[in-house]
Amino acid sequence: MTRMALYPKHVQESLNGVKTVGIRTYDGGKVCTEGRGGWSVREYFSYGNKNGLDSPFMFPKVISGERYLGNVKFWKNACYDLPEAYDFHGFQMIAKDWKGESSSFVFDETGYPLLPHNGDVVFDPDIDGGKLLVRENGLWAVMDGLFEWEFSFRKYINRYSCAYVSGEPNIVSILLGANDFQSKICAEQDINCYLRGIQTMIDAIKRYDSSIKIIINLPITGASQDAWGIRTGCNGNSEIYRRNMQMVGKEILKRWDNGSSEMQGIYVCAMLIGLDTDNSFDTVMEQVNEYCTKEVERQENWVHPNLAGNKQMGDFLAAVLQNIRNGIIRGA
C-alpha cells in the first residue's frame, strides 16, 4: 500500500509544508517513500538475498553506512535488467545519486559501482553462495570470515544522504501487517515477532535522533470474500484476514497507544477505522451465476484500497501528523 505512494501523496497534498522523503520515487522526487510491495516486517531485516532484494536498513556491523553500497544484484536489476519490474521500479533516481533522469547510473551493468573508491564494500550473491567484497588497490577482493549484520537507521541515512539533501525525516510513518498476517490461520504465534521487529525499528530511529517522531498505523482490514475469491482462490479468507488485522491492531494499541509512548514521541494512527471497506475497493460487474444473466457489482481487489480508500487512509495519517505539529498530543 505504501509502495503505491497514494496515501502518502494525499498527506503531502493535504497539509502545507509537508514533504515525503525516501529512496523510492516514481515521479522525479515529488513523492518519496520506503514502500516495498509484498514485504512483511521480516523482509526489512533481510540481507544477502539471491534476487538482490535486501533491506535498505541492513548493514554489515563492521562497515560504515557510507562505505557499504549494497547487493550488486539489486542495482543490476534496478538499473539495467528489470527497471520496470514491480520490485525494482522507483529506485532509478537513487541509482543516479538523485541527479535527475538525464544522468547516468552510478553502477555498471554488473551492478558494481561504476567509479568505486578504495574501502567501498558490496555484497555479491553469485560468488561462493554470497560474499562481501572490498575495493583494494583498484580491485575487488573477497572479505573472508563471517560478518554480523545490523538494522541501522543511522547507516541508512548516511548511505542514502543524496536523497536527503533537502532535509532528513523528522517524522517516520510505519504501516506493516498485511503481508505478515494475510493468510495466517493462527496469527497469535507470530504477533510477538512482529512487535519485536517494529520495536527494533523504533529503537534504531531513536538512537539516530531521539527527536524524530514515529507514527505506527493500525493496518487496515480488506475487501469482501468476493475479492478474496477472485484474487486468491482458496488460499485466502476475508474473515480470517479481518480478524488478524483487528488482533494486530489491538496489540499495537496495547503497546504504544499510551502516555509513556507519546512522551517518547511515538504515536498510533487509527488508519484501520478510517477506511470505508464497503466502497473503497475497486469493483467489477459479474454475472450472478452460470444460469442467471443478471449482473452484480463485486469487489475485485482483496487488500489494496482504490484511490478514494487511499485518500481516507491519508486523511487519518494527516490528522495525526497535524496534531503532532500543533502540539495537541503529548510528546510533541
Task: Say how far residue 13 (Cα) sits from the centre of its chain.
Answer: 20
How far apart (Å, rounded) are the C-alpha atoms in residues 88 and 57?
16
Which CATH number covers residue 258?
Answer: 3.40.50
pLDDT digits (tens, 9 = 90+) for 299-317: 999 999 999 999 999 999 9
Mean pLDDT within 154-176:
95
Of the pLDDT bands very low, low, confident and very high (cuts 50, 70, 90), residue 183 is: confident
**Domain count within the chain:** 2
Q: Give yes or no for a contact between 92 and 29, defined as CB atoms under 8 angstroms apart.
A: no
pTM for the full predicted model: 0.94
* Whether pLDDT at 169 is above 80: yes
Mean pLDDT within 273-278:
94
pLDDT digits (tens, 9 = 90+) for 49-67: 999 999 999 999 999 999 9
Q: Do 199 and 50 belong to one domain?
A: no
* Whether pLDDT at 47 is above 60: yes
Write the single-letter amino acid at 31. V
Q: Do 137 and 199 belong to one domain?
A: no
* Whether pLDDT at 329 is above 70: no
From 166, 194, 220, the end of a domain falls on: 166
pLDDT digits (tens, 9 = 90+) for 246-271: 999 999 999 999 999 999 999 999 99
pLDDT digits (tens, 9 = 90+) for 184-238: 777 777 899 999 999 999 999 999 999 999 999 999 999 999 999 988 888 889 9
Classify 175 in phi/psi space as left (phi over 0), alpha (psi -120 to 50) or beta. Answer: beta
Q: Do 181 and 254 belong to one domain?
A: yes
Percent of the chain with pLDDT over 90: 90
pLDDT value of position 77 = 98
How far apart (Å, rounded) are the C-alpha atoms in residues 113 and 168?
25
pLDDT value of position 222 = 95
Mean pLDDT within 154-161:
98
Which contacts (CB < 8 Å, 24+ apart) does range 133-139 have?
Answer: none
Q: Do 221 and 124 belong to one domain?
A: no
The domain in which residue 227 lies consists of 1-21+169-332
Q: Do 47 and 194 belong to one domain?
A: no
Q: Do 93 and 205 belong to one domain?
A: no
pLDDT digits (tens, 9 = 90+) for 122-153: 999 999 999 999 999 999 999 998 899 999 99
Nearest to 10 by CA among 228, 247, 192, 275: 275
Average pLDDT of every residue of the chain: 95
Q: Do 217 and 315 belong to one domain?
A: yes
* Whether pLDDT at 178 is above 70: yes
Report CA-CA distances (Å) from 240 to 116, 184, 186, 198, 322: 50, 8, 9, 22, 34
pLDDT value of position 23 = 97
Q: Do 124 and 256 belong to one domain?
A: no
pLDDT value of position 268 = 97
pLDDT value of position 332 = 55
* Whether pLDDT at 48 is above 60: yes
Q: Do 195 and 328 belong to one domain?
A: yes
* Whether pLDDT at 331 is above 60: no
Cell of 253: 494499541
* DSSP assignment letter at 303: S
* Whether pLDDT at 330 is above 70: no
Of the pLDDT bands very low, low, confident and very high (cuts 50, 70, 90), residue 165 is: confident
Of the pLDDT bands very low, low, confident and very high (cuts 50, 70, 90), residue 112 is: very high
232-242 burial, b for 16+ CB within 10 Å, e for fewer?
beeebbbebbb
Q: Do 193 and 287 belong to one domain?
A: yes
Cell of 244: 488478524
